[in-house]
Amino acid sequence: MKILITGGAGFIGSNVADGFIAQGHEVVVVDDLSTGFRRNIPQKAAFYQVDIRDEALQEVFEKEKPDLVDHHAAQIDVRKSVEDPLFDAQVNILGSLNLIQQCIRHGVQKVIYASTGGAIYGEPGALPVDETHPARPLCQYGISKHTVEHYLYLYQYHYGLHYTILRYPNVYGPRQDPHGEAGVLAIFTETMFTGRQPVIFGDGGHTRDYVYVGDIMKANLLAVERGQDRIINLGWGREISVNEIFAALKKELSMDIDPIYAEERLGEIHRICLDSSRAQKELGWQPEVSLDEGIRRTVEYYRERKGEN
Catalytic residue ranges: 141
Q: Are 187 and 246 in contact (CB under 8 A)?
A: no
User: How far apart, in whole angstroms, are the C-alpha atoms of residue 224 and residue 240?
Assistant: 30
Please, which residues have CB within 8 angstroms of residue 39's CB and are 6 or more apart in sequence?
Answer: none
Q: Which amino acid type is present at position 176? A: Q
For 302, other C-beta atoms within 10 Å of its C-beta total 19
